[in-house]
Structure 1
Amino acid sequence: MKIDILTLFPNMFQALNESMLGKAQEKNLLQINICDFRQYSNDKHHHVDDTPYGGGAGMLLQPQPFYRAVDAINQDDAGPKRVILLDPAGQRFDQQLAQELAQEQHLVFLCGHYEGFDYRIEQLATDRVSIGDFVLTGGEMAAMMMIDATARFIPGVLGNGQSAYSDSFAQDLLEYPQYTRPAEYRGMKVPDVLLSGNHQKIAQWRHEQALKRTWLQRPDLLAQAALSSEDQQFLEKLNQPRQK
C-alpha cells in the first residue's frame, strides 16, 4: 500500500517509522510519503491560510496548496486512490472501515489545522472521516491512528495474520481476557480452562468472556453483533442478577 499524507507538520509523523509500521516499510509492504503542503503555496511567504469571508474567528486553510499537492500526487501515480479528509463532521472511523481501507492500493490523507478548511477542499476528498466527537488542533494524530489501525490488516504487517481479525471490535465484541506466564501471580491465577489443553473448551470460554466483557463495558455493541441463540441464552443468564 502507498500512503501520502498532506500536513503542515511532517515531523509529527516520525512515529510511523517505529514498531510494526517501521518494519512494514522496511519490507516494502507499506510506502509512506509525507508532504508539507506549504511548499505548494503560491504566496511568497508560503502562507496557506487566510481569514474567512463574512468574518468569524480563526483562520481557514486555502484550497490552492491542497489542490496543487494532490495534482502532483496524481501526476506521479494516476491510479485510483481514496482521498481522506480528517474532519470532525465526517464518518466515524471504526474497525470495519480500517479493514475496508486496507483493501486499497493508495490512500491520501488531508490533515487540517487552524480553524478549519475552505469548503472547496472537501471536493478533493472521497471520504470525510472522524475519530470521535471531539476536536483536535490538527488532523495529524487522527491520521496516524487511522494508518496504524488500517495497516494491521495488510498481509504480512503483523507477525500473526489472524491477530487483526480477533482483536476487539473485529466481530462487534470486545476481546476476551488473555494471560501468559506465570500461572499464578500475587494470588491471581490463570483460569483452569486455559491450562487444560482442551481447545474446544478454551474457544467456548473465550467467546463467552468476550460476550461478558462486551455486556459489562460496551453493551451498545451487542445491538449490532451477530448473536447465536446460545449467545442470547448466555446473555440472559448474565442479565438475571441485574433484574433482582
Structure 2
Amino acid sequence: MRIDVVTLFPDFMRQCAAVGVVGRAQQRELLQVETWNPRDFATDNYRTVDGRTCGGGPGMVMLIEPLRAALKAVREAAPEPVHVIYLSPQGARLTQDRVVSLAKMPRIALLCGRYEGVDERLLAHEVDEELSIGDYVLSGGELGAAVVIDAVGRLQDGALNDAQSAQQDSFSDGLLDCPHYTKPVHDALGDVPAVLLSGDHAAIRRWRLKQSLGRTWLRRPDLLARRNLDAESAVLLEEFRRDYLRHHEAAVADRGN
C-alpha cells in the first residue's frame, strides 16, 4: 500500500512513519509513505501557500493552486488511482471499520490543512472524503494524518509479528478489548486472574469475552446499543453486570463501616 501526505511539515510526517510497527511495515516493503510540500508547488519567490480569508476575519486560508498542483503530482507519481482524504474536524469520525476499508485500498493521499483551513473550492473538486479523529481542533492535519497512517499501516499483511493481535484489538469486533496481564503472577497490586493460568482455552475465551462485554458496557455503552448480542454474549454480559453491582455494593458498605 502507498500513502502520500501533502503537508507543510514533511519531516515531521516522515519521522512519525519511520518508527514502530509502521516503520517496520515500510522496511518490509508492505507500506510506502511519501510526502509532498505545497511550498514546492508555489509560483512566487516567497513560496506562498496561504491568503487572507474573503469577507474579512482572522486567520489565513490555504490557496487552491499550490495544493492543486501538489495533488496533481501525487496522482501522477504512481499508476494506481488514489483516494484523497482531507483531515478536518468537520469530517466523518474515523472508526475501526473505516480504517479496515482504507487499509484495503492500494493508495490513499492525506491532505493536511493549516491556518483556518483550505479553500472550499479545492475541497469540493479535489477531495474524495473528509475524516476527523475527534471532536476537537488541532493546529493542523498532521497529527490526524499520523493517526491514519498508524491505524492503516499496522493492518497491512505482515506488519504485525502476530496477525492475531489486530483481530483482538478494541473495536475489531465492535467491543472494547479485555484486560491483559503479564508476569509476575503475584504482586502487591494484585494477582493475575486464576482462569488465565488454568490452561483451559474455552474458559479463557469465555472470560475474555465477558470482560470485553463488561468494559464496553461500563465505558462505551453506545457501542453495545449498536450491536445485536448472541445468546452467549447476552448471558456473559448479565453475569458481568451482577458481579459488578455486587462488588460495587460491597465496596460502598465497606466505606460506610
Q: After TM superposition, is the score higher than 0.5?
A: yes
1:115 corresponds to: 116
Written as runs of structure 1 = structure 2, the 5 A alignment for 1:1-244 is 1-13=1-13, 14-122=15-123, 123-186=125-188, 188-239=190-241, 241=245
Q: Assess if the C-alpha contact under 8 Å between 1:114 and 1:138 holds in 2.
A: yes
Change (3 A) 1:35 1:187: closer
140-149 or 14-23, which deviates more: 14-23
Name the aligned partner's letter for residue 161 of structure 2.
Answer: G
Q: Assess if the C-alpha contact under 8 Å between 1:173 and 1:225 holds in 2.
A: no
Name the aligned partner's letter for residue 23 of structure 1.
Answer: R
Q: Distance in 2 between matches of 1:187 and 1:177?
A: 15
TM-score (norm 1): 0.95
2:252 corresponds to: none
Q: Please give the per-residue CA displacement for 1:25-61, whole angstroms capped at 9, x wherever unaligned.
A: 1111111111111110112210100011111221000
Q: SS at 1:17's partner residue?
A: coil
Q: Please give the per-residue CA displacement for 1:54-89, whole angstroms capped at 9, x wherever unaligned.
A: 112210001111110111122222321111101111
Q: SS at 2:17's partner residue?
A: helix
Q: SS at 1:3's partner residue?
A: strand
Report the Cα offset of residue 239 of structure 1.
4.5
Q: Assess if the C-alpha contact under 8 Å between 1:171 and 1:225 holds in 2.
A: no
Q: Distance in 1 between matches of 2:186 and 2:66?
A: 59
Q: Distance in 2 between matches of 1:200 and 1:239?
A: 21
Q: Distance in 2 between matches of 1:187 and 1:128?
A: 44
Q: Which runs of 5+ in 1 are unaligned?
A: none
217-226 or 151-160, which deviates more: 217-226
Change (3 A) 1:187 1:103: closer
Q: Distance in 1 between matches of 2:130 and 2:175?
A: 26
Q: Which runs of 5+ in 2 are unaligned?
A: 250-257
Q: Assess if the C-alpha contact under 8 Å between 1:38 and 1:47 holds in 2.
A: yes
Name the aligned partner's letter for residue 199 of structure 1.
Answer: H
Q: How many residues get paired?
A: 243
CA RMSD for the aligned pairs?
Answer: 1.5
2:254 corresponds to: none
